[in-house]
Chain A
């Protein structure tokens, strides 16, 4: 299969990519800005995109903007702000129905591209800054987004563990910074952040859908030509292992404890590490699922994930408070077994089949393709999903063992309930 992505630079540090396929009924056009994550700027960057998607010079209130989008068959222009590796990524995405389904023959591609451009380049301003009232409301959105992290205990535990694992690196911070930082935002601070985003940050525009995106390209090229761009490009830092593992316990009123065990690797064999993740804890026949869950009945979920750019392997599980030690020992023991070669060729084949199956499924959704290729451009290695699966199918059992041996225990984070007071 040919690599379906086309990518070109349309302004300094602004890259325009398209992925075309007739199978899709929807299109996604996303504008993604990347900067090295830092706690000080993060809340303002996130708030800027919250504000930009509430209104623009053509639709000056959120209600007007939202109703226009709803009228266009529930199209959306939504902000995003998240952490990826050492980057803060923020921007907005337009999703809309293919023109062929429009009941009244509207040209949705053109209408949504205009809407996206108006939101990014023509915001409502007051005295050279964002309006006071909108700022106040969207500041709250950012504050809520930081505080809400606690609602999902699994994600919260992983975020806290990553902060400890990546201490001293940009990835240690939460995506939107701190509540204190968000509370200190002003209309001017956010507007200045917005201008800095537009003029200095690397930008990746990703269009996925069926048909022709040349009009989108032309309009976005024209829009970016009005900005003086001096892009600042930064690299991802490979995380270095601590000299001694860090053990950290946090206490909150919870019924089930969460444990995250973080390993680091300095190995460059990313393909072998990806396959190792599947064998260790990436499928229902993995070592962690088969033993920690099925054999010992300790957990409902216990799985591994791998961050190829930071060099991290995380295992996370939900476990009864009394079984934390037992689960940790078994998780570590299973890795030792893989290091000693105690797994079969069939385990390796199963992992490869899973990779191939997952890779082929990515082609079926616009969202899947968008995520895949955005990750590729950040990693600076553009493979299509099938090529990636093909490469992993060449990984040998010996390489998996070496990959396992390269993992060093770095951090064990436990979220558990408060200790009971003695009578």
Chain B
């Protein structure tokens, strides 16, 4: 089943195919592009630690960090690793695991079809032994250590830990040195067989490529999967934050902070609308160009490293204010006071139009490169929306939508995370 989806604003179109194998395929050819970007992803991220299929009697809970571990190990088969295969074509290959997805990718300017065969081949052909699994402990252990020293990373995870009681989003994507020590080949196979069935997977390709040849490769290489009727379970999560303040000391120049406002999780178009409304709202109220930013900057309370964003995915939604300050507690108070003041005094419509225009432009920007388009396509499909939905929603969003978002924002359901400079 194939449908062509077009957008007149961009004068572009793509194909969305529900392939007989079970996979969803998104093909987005781009005129004048020199390179191609392909992503093969599964709806399997670090939050998916508890699950069952029709073959399981009950839910199983696996060690934290296993989705990421699996991503590392899938690159190897019994003869070589996928990097060696890609090396022969010159492609840049990589993979990533996020909270709610894992994806394998390559970008290339030549030998696209060969690269696609490599991608579809190794992702569908797991090979784990006790030795190869053990070998990865050292490498991932060093990856975890690297992030332990990264104040920007820590400040965010500590904020998530402060906001969430039970949701696994509070745990580092790579897990901990202790949790990954519990991972063995049998657990990896179990997770692989559960989450890497094609009904749970999306292939997104953008840039320079031939659609017919691509589909021929997909027909040949995508192995039909039986639908295992996968159910994942995210533990019940109270609406309130766990704690309002958390601190850690690390080697850094000045304190870093994250302020997180917690919301219930949303899905599909509702999630898209909330994301657009809160992104615009927070930018209007707090970011560069606002009265708040001007005042706090002039009092040297914050600097240009100040940003607001929506942090959302499958099973979680929050709004984060990220920055550096010599007095993060004061910033926290100021942020809450400003949002409450605007609730009473009202927002400026002129400011709304200004910020909406910037978000509109950043949506256009996401259609500039093959990488941006392929990534966008994968994310949208996995969130249950179309590739152009966000662009069109932002072009049409109203001032009332943003006012309503502010009215629903509870400034007290929030947490402050601080990284303080360690001595030494």
Contact = CB atoms under 8 A, between A and B. Distances in A.
A101 B367 CA distance: 13
Given A147-B253, A353-B88, A364 B138 contact: no
Contacts of A150: 251-253
Contacts of B6: none
A21 B362 CA distance: 20
Interface stretch (A163-171, A187-195, A250-258): A250-258
Q: Which 4 A/B pairs are nearest by Cβ-Cβ distance?
A: A353-B90, A74-B358, A297-B138, A360-B109
8 contacts: A22-B32, A67-B289, A74-B362, A144-B253, A153-B150, A255-B145, A358-B92, A360-B35
Interface of A: 21-26, 61-63, 66-67, 70-75, 97, 101, 103, 133, 137, 140-141, 144, 147-154, 251-256, 283-285, 289, 293-294, 297-301, 318-320, 346, 349-350, 352-361, 363-365, 418
Contacts of A289: 83
Contacts of A298: 138, 142
Interface stretch (B19-27, B181-189, B223-231, B298-306): B298-306
Nearest to A72: B357
Given A24-B368, A361-B34, A361-B35, A103 B253 contact: no
Contacts of B418: none
A26 B354 contact: no
A360 B34 contact: yes
Interface in B97-112: 107-110
Contacts of A353: 87-90, 110
A275 B115 CA distance: 22
A350 B304 contact: no
Given A320-B142, A357-B110, A360-B110, A297 B152 contact: no
Contacts of B33: 23, 364
B342 interface: no
Interface string B76-95: 00000101101111111100
A74 B152 CA distance: 25
A357 B288 CA distance: 38
Given A357-B109, A364-B370, 12 more contacts: A26-B368, A73-B357, A148-B324, A152-B150, A253-B424, A256-B148, A285-B84, A298-B142, A300-B146, A352-B90, A360-B34, A365-B368
A2 to B, nearest CB: 15
Contacts of A320: 141-142, 145
B368 A25 contact: yes
A318 B364 contact: no
Nearest to A319: B142
B4 interface: no
B354 A151 contact: no
Contacts of A137: 297-298, 300
Nearest to A151: B252
Contacts of A364: 33-35, 207, 369-370
B136 interface: yes
Contacts of B92: 354, 357-358, 361
Contacts of A284: 83, 86-87, 93
A240 B151 CA distance: 36
Question: In the complex, which of the residues A72, A356, A361 has the most CB atoms of chain B within 10 Å of its own CB atom?
Answer: A361
B225 to A, nearest CB: 29
A346 B87 CA distance: 9
Given A25-B367, A144-B254, A297-B135, A318 B142 contact: yes
Interface string B106-132: 011110000000000000000000000
A357 B294 CA distance: 45
A138 to B, nearest CB: 10
A186 B207 CA distance: 51
B32 A23 contact: yes
B5 interface: no
A299 B87 contact: no
Nearest to A252: B251
Nearest to B138: A297
B110 A356 contact: yes
Given A253-B422, A350-B87, A297 B289 contact: no
